[in-house]
Structure 1
Amino acid sequence: MDLAYYQDYYKLERTHWWFVIRGQLIQRLTKQYAAKNQPLRILNVGVATGRTTELLSALGEVTSVEYESSCCTFLREELAMEVTEGSVTDLPYQDGSYDVVCAFDVIEHVEDHQTAVAELQRVCNPNGLVFVTVPAHMLLWSHHDIVNQHFRRYTRSELTGLFSEQIGKIVYSSYFNALLAGPVLMLRWMTRLVPKNWVRSKAGSDFTILADDSLLNKLFYKVLAAEVKLMPRVSLPTGTSAFCLWQKGAAALN
C-alpha cells in the first residue's frame, strides 16, 4: 500500500462514525472486564494506523503488532509509534505475557483463524482477557469485504466457537451496530449496481462513502452511541459486527 492509502485510512480511523464508536466500545468494555491492577500489559494485534493503540494506552502499556510492512513503516515514520512486524498466527511472545490481548477486526483477514485465536489465547496470562471484534453475517458480504481482503464474516456463535479449545470462559459477547444493520444491508446491495469508484475514495471500502463532516455521519454516530450505552448490560441479537471477550482460566498454564 502507498502512503496516500494510509493517510486516508488514518483519517477514517479518527473521524468516521463507525471507527469512533468502535473505539468507545473498546475502551468501555476493556475497562469493565480487564483486571483492575493498573497499568495493564496490553498486546494489540493488527493495529492498522494506530488509533486502537492510542485508545488502549490510557489503560496501560501497549505493545503493537502489525502484519503489513508498509503499514509498519507508516506508523514509525509518520506517527513515531513503536510497532513489531508480525503475524497473529505466530506471535513472537512467550506464553502468558499479557493481561489483555486484542485483535480488532483482524482474524477475518486470516485463512487459519483457529490458529490465530489459539495464539491470542497462548500469550494471554491466567485470568487475562482476550478481546476480538469481527465483521458479522455473510449476508452482508460485499466489495467492502473484498477490498479489505476478508476471508469471511461471522455469526456470534461462530466467533465464540473459536474459543472453545482452551481453559477459560466467554465473559461477554454480542453483536453491535444493530440499529443500522438494515440501512447497511441496503447500502451494500445498492452499491453493487454502480461503479465502485463513484462512491469510494482511496481506501476503497464502504467507510469512505460518507464525508466525516456530513450530516449522515453525525446522525449515524448518535444512533450508534445510544446503542453502546446499553453495553454490557445486554447482548444485541444482530448487527454488522460481532465481538467476544474471553477470560483465560487460572489453571491454563499449570
Structure 2
Amino acid sequence: MDLTYEKKYHQLEEKHWWFAGRRSTVRQLVNELRIPHTSDILEIGCSAGPLQKQLAEDGYMSLTGIDISETAIALAKDRGIQNVSVMDGANLAFPDASFDVVIASDVLEHIQDEYQAIQEWKRVLRPGGRMLIFVPAFQLLWTQHDEINHHYRRYTGRRLRDALTQAELHLERSSYWNTFLFFPTSAIRLLQRVLPRRTKSNNYTGDLKEFPRWLNNGLTALLKVEDVLLRYTSLPVGVSVFAIVRKK
C-alpha cells in the first residue's frame, strides 16, 4: 500500500470501526469452529498485531503472524507481540503442514497470482486444518481506494468459493459481511467514480478516515449486530465476503 495510507492505517487500526468489527467477526468464527487453544494459528497480513493480541487474550497460545511490511512488524514488536516476522504471503518460509488454522483478512486481493497464494496457504495447513479468508466484495465498488491499497481485484462470493474449491479445499461456509452498510457504501463509491480523481500528492488515504467517537462506536455496534445474525445464517450481500475452508 502507499506509504501515506499505511501511516494512517497503523494510526487507526486498533480502534477504527471497520477493523474492530472485522476482528470481532473473525474471533466469533474461530470460536464457532471450536478451535482448541493449543492449535497453531498463522495470521497472514497481521499488520501491527491487533488480532494477534486479542486471540492471545482469548486463550490461544501458539500464534504466528507475518506481514510484508517492515513498518507493521516493527510496530507489532513494539507492542509486545514477538512471534511475528516480515514475509511474503505468497511465499511462506514454513515447512509443510505447520499450522492448524490460517487466517488472511484482506490479503488475497493484494496478490497478483491468487492461485499460487492459495496453494501456498494450503501447503502449510495440516490435514483437516481450516483456512479463514476475508476479501473485499464486488468489482462495481472499485474506486481509487482500491488503487491506493494496491488491490488486483474484488470478489463475489462465487468467485472466492471457486478459487478455493479449485485448490481442492473443502468449503465449509461462505457469507458476505458488512451488509447493513452495503447500499450507502455503494452509493458513495459510485459517486466517487464520477467525481474528479484525487492524486497521490493530495495525501489521499482512500476511505480510511477518523470518525467522531460516537459515530465510530455506533458503526462498531452495528457490525456486532451482524455478528449475531451470522451465528444463524449467511448474509446475501455486503462490502466484504469471507469463506471458511478445510484441507481434506
Q: CA deviation at 1:47?
A: 1.0
Aligned length: 242
One-letter code of the match for 1:10? H
Secondary structure at the counterpart of residue 99 of structure 1 = strand
Q: CA deviation at 1:187?
A: 1.8
One-letter code of the match for 2:44? V
Report the Cα distance in structure 1 between the residues aligned to 2:94 and 2:38, rounded to whole angstroms: 19
Q: Is the 8 A contact 1:136 1:154 kept in 2?
A: yes
After the TM superposition, which of the residue ranges 12-21 and 175-184 deviates more from structure 2? 12-21
Residues 162-185 of structure 1 show CA distances to partners (whole Å, capped at 9, x for unaligned) of 112444411111001111101111
Q: CA deviation at 1:73?
A: 3.0
Report the Cα distance in structure 1 between the residues aligned to 2:70 and 2:87, rounded to whole angstroms: 9
Report the Cα distance in structure 1 between the residues aligned to 2:14 and 2:159, rounded to whole angstroms: 29
Q: Report the equivalent of 1:234.
A: 233
Q: Is the 8 A contact 1:2 1:70 kept in 2?
A: no
Residues 199-248 of structure 1 show CA distances to partners (whole Å, capped at 9, x for unaligned) of xx96712121x4251x4333322322211111132111110000011111
Change beyond 3 A, Cα 1:141–1:166: closer
Residues 112-160 of structure 1 show CA distances to partners (whole Å, capped at 9, x for unaligned) of 0111111111111111110110000001001111111100000011111
Secondary structure at the counterpart of residue 226 of structure 1 = helix
The answer to whether 1:181 aligns with 2:218 is no
TM-score, normalization: structure 1?
A: 0.86
Q: Is the 8 A contact 2:98 2:125 kept in 1?
A: yes
Change beyond 3 A, Cα 1:167–1:152: closer
Percent of residue pairs identical? 31
Q: Report the equivalent of 1:248.
A: 247
Q: Report the equivalent of 1:252.
A: none
The answer to whether 1:54 aligns with 2:34 is no
Secondary structure at the counterpart of residue 191 of structure 2 = helix
Report the Cα distance in structure 1 between the residues aligned to 2:3 and 2:55, rounded to whole angstroms: 25
Q: CA deviation at 1:56?
A: 2.5
Residues 15-59 of structure 1 show CA distances to partners (whole Å, capped at 9, x for unaligned) of 111111101100000111153x32221001111121122222233
One-letter code of the match for 1:125? R
Please, what is the CA RMSD of the aligned residues? 2.3
Report the Cα distance in structure 1 between the residues aligned to 2:223 and 2:133, rounded to whole angstroms: 19
